[in-house]
Amino acid sequence: MGSAEVVVVAFFLAFLSLCSSKPEGYVVLEHSHDVEAWREDGWEKHDRLSPSEDVFLTFALKQSNLEWLERYFWEVSDPRSSEYGNHFSLSNLARLIAPSQGTVATVKVWLRKHGVHPSDCRTVLTKDFMTCQMSCETAEAMLVGAKFYRFKHSKLSRPVIRSLEQYSVPVSVAPHLDFVGGMLHFPAVNGPSFSRLAEERIINSMKSSKPQDKDQIHIGVFPSVLRERYNVSDTVGTHPNNSQSVAQFLEQYYNPGDLEEFFTLFGSSFKHLEKMSKVIGPDSGRSGIEASLDTQYIMSLGAMVPTWFWSTGGRHESQEPFLEWLVDISNHSEVPWVHSVSYSDNEDTLDVDYMNRINVEFQKAGVRGLTFLFASGDNGAGCKKKKFRPMYPSSSPYVTTVGGTAFDNPFTVSNEYAYDISGGGFSNVFPRPSYQTDVVEKYLKTGPHIPPTSYFNPNGRGFPDIAAVCNHFWIVNNLIPVPGVMGTSASTPTVAGIISLINDARLKDHKSPLGFLNPFLYQNAAGMYDVTTGHNEGCLSEDTGFYAATGWDPVTGFGSPNFPALVKAAISNQ
C-alpha cells in the first residue's frame, strides 16, 4: 500500500470513529494549576465573547520519536560525546518528530466535523502545530467546558481572550493532542524595572569622590563597562554565518532611532552595526523599555553579529505570544544561533503537560544547534505560602538560565555579588539533570545558610546556570537616555552577546555553534568569575532566599563569563 493510500485509510478510520452514532466521552486535556493566578497577576475579567467573534487557537499535535530526540539532544550538546555539534537541519528534524499520519488525520477530521476547514488553519514545517481560526461558538462546541472572555491588564493596551474553565476533548482525540494554546495560559507580563535610588546614590558618591579617582569611575553601566569586566575588549563578530536574536512579546517594540542614539552615546569604543538585520513580526508603536534594553545590549556585547528582532506581540487576542514565538521557530529553516529571551512565568501556574511539551520545543532547538538563554526572573527565590516559587522556563533543564549580579563597588569595574532580585532556586516539577548532579549536591552539603527543605525541592533542577551584572543600566528609549534600568532581562542579552562572539570564534575555526550550552558551561566552570557573596530574596527571615557560594549556587550559577577563557575552552572542543 502506498503512502497516499495509508493517509486515506487513516483519515477514513478517524472519520468513522468521530461520526459514529454512539455517544463518546470527553476527557480534560489541560489542567490549570492555580485557578486564581490570573487575578493575582493583575488581569481583570471583562465581557464575554459573542458567538460570532473569532478566536485563534493553536493545537499541539503529539509528536513522534521523542525518546530518540531527547537522547540525541544530550549527545549533540555534550562536548565529551562523539556526536557533539552534529546538529540537525529543520527538514531532518521534521522527519524525526512529525506526528503520525493517524494523528494528523484524526485532528483534521475532528476540526472538519465542527466546520473548521483546512483553509482556516496553518501548520508548520515540523507538522506538530496547527493554528486555526474559528468562531467562539465553534471553539466552545469543540472544547467542551470552555467559555471565552476578554481580560485586560493595566500594562497592556490590548486585551487577551481566555477561558477560565478547563476544557475537554473527545476521548478519541485526546491521545493525539498535548494541549490547545490560547485557552488557560495567560501571558506573563514582566520586564525590567528602575533603580532610581541606586542611581542617586551613585551620583551623590561621584560628587564626594576625590578628583584623581574620577577617571576610574562610571556612573551606571553601559557597554564599555561590561566589555571591560568580561574581558571582551574590542572583539567583534566577523563570520558571515553568525547571527543572534532577541525575542519580544506583548507590544514590546524597538526604535531604530533609539539604537542609533544609544551607539552615538555609548558605542565609540568598539565597532558595531547601526541597524537591526531583520525584523520578524510587528514593530510599530512606541518603543518599550524591554525591547530597547535587549536590542541595545545584545548588539553591544555581540557587536557586528547580525541581529534579528523577533516580535510576537500577539497577532490576535487569543494567541499566546510565547507559544507563537516557538511555533515561528519551528517554521523557519534558517534562524539565528543565539536567542535572548527576557521572559518568565510562575512554574506553579502552568500545566505540567504544557511545560513538558515546551521542553520538547527546547530540545528541538538544541538539536538544531540553537542556544536559548532565558532570564531567571526578578523576584528572587519567590515566596508563596511559605514556600519558594520557581519560575519557568527558567527552571527547564533544557535551556540556559541567566541570573543577576551587581558590582561590589558600584562606581568602578570590580568583583560582583549576587543581587537580591536574581531569580534562582530549584524546580518543583523537573528533576535535577545529570550535568549538574555533582555541583548541586556539593552546594546542598556545604553551601551557606541552606534553607529548610520544606521551602524547596532539593531534588529539582537548580537554576540559574550563569549570571551577569543586572542593575544601573543606561538605555535610550524614545530618544531619551534613561538610567537606572535593572533586571535579569539586562544580564540575559549581555550574556547572549558574549555567547555569540564565542560562536563566532568556533565558526571561524570551522566548528559548529555551541547549541545547548549547559554541558559545556558545567564542564568549563573555570571560564567564569565565581560569585561567592550576596543572596536573593525569598521567604526566610529578613526576606532571604538562597546565598551565593564557592562554585555553583542557585542565585548566580557558576558566576559571570570570562570571555577569553570561555573562547579557549570552546575552541579546544571538537
Catalytic sites, residue numbers: 290, 294, 489
Candidates 162, 102, 93; CA nearest to 124 is: 93
481: β partners? 476
Q: Which residue has the cell 518528530?
A: 97
Buried b (16+ CB within 10 A) or exposed e, 362-399: bbbbbbbbbbbbbbbbbbbbbbeeebbbbbbbbbbbbb
Phi, psi of 190 (to 5 degrees): -145, 170
Q: What is the CA radius of gyration of the chain?
A: 24
| DSSP secondary structure letter of residue 451 | P
H-state helical runs in 52-158: 66-77, 90-97, 101-113, 136-142
Q: At what angle do helices 563-572 and 488-508 cross, to 10 degrees?
A: 40
Phi, psi of 463 (to 5 degrees): -150, 155
Write out the three cell numbers for 449. 545558610
20 class by beta-carbon count within 10 Å (0-12 exposed, 13-18 middle, 19+ buried) = exposed
Contacts of 261 (CB under 8 A, 6+ apart): 476, 479, 481
